[in-house]
Amino acid sequence: MKVLFIGDVVGGPGRRGLKAAMPELRERFAPDLIVVTGEFLSGEMGITEKTAKALFDAGTDVITTGNHVYRHREVYSFLNRSDRVVRPANYPYANPGRGYTVVEAGGRRVGVINLSGAIGLRVARSPFHEVDSILEKIECDFSIVDFHAEVTSEKVAMGWHLDGRVAGVLGTHTHVPTADARVLPQGTAFISDVGMTGSRTSVLGVKPELILEQMITQMPVKFETAEEDVWVMGAVVDVNDQGLADSITSVMVPAPPH
């Protein structure tokens, strides 16, 4: 079966671009399961119930998140209610939401695990220990891991740590697609970062002039989402009957006009 994993969707332009691209993505890749990283859905940061619903209405099956998941307080109850939106599992146990979920797709039970890197980000527990604990108790045919992390070394290390134990380790958070997509020796698909779904006429989805102003003046600047030249980025993992990967293919397609 095939899993289509879409990188960080940034704001309204990203949401609309993904929705417009969905028919082409389905026709081209025929995915059985679509997982989307959605912590930038609302404006330039955060997720809300409304913006999550927009992704589900567009055909998303599971939404993963990251360090901006709690940006909007009103999302807390939604995270506790939803079994199709996950937040990093190695956050404090008492935090709203869940760190993994299991969904039916293609006649199989698929685990979707969300982890945060510990280097440069705030977590309660090591992502390596946390994922080991989850894999001991999760009941599924295979798992896909969204590793939301700052540095490539930690992402690559996680790929090797999980090689042969999960179908895929897909890196997110840095919004820039990397060129290292491959299947590791024991059958785990890996890529350091799948990229983002949003404007390429931007700095990580934000209007360039605003980022430049902040970096040059070192003064606070209110970010605004860029809207031009929206692309959808991600990866497709082909999972075999053993619950491991036969292949991984990077996805980078321009969103059609909408």
The Cα–Cα gap between 82 and 47 comes to 13
Three-point CA angle 158, 161, 166, nearest 5°: 90
Angle between helices 49-57 and 11-29 (to 10 degrees): 20
Strands 182-183 and 189-191: antiparallel
Both structure tokens of 97: 């939401």
Catalytic residue among 68, 72, 148, 173: 68
User: Rounded to 5 degrees, what angle do the CA atoms 13, 174, 77 make?
Assistant: 65
How many CB atoms are located within 10 Å of the residue 208 CB? 13
Tell me the three-class secondary structure of 151-212, residue by residue: CHHHHHHHHHHHCCCCCEEEEECCCCCCCCCEECCCCCEEECCCCEEEECCCECCECHHHHH
| Ramachandran sector of residue 71 (left: φ over 0; alpha: ψ -120 to 50; beta: rest) | alpha
Question: Is 175 considered catalytic here?
Answer: no
Question: Taking the CA of residue 3 as centre, how many other CA atoms within 13 Å lie in the half-sphere pointing to its CB?
Answer: 35
What are the residue numbers of the active site? 68
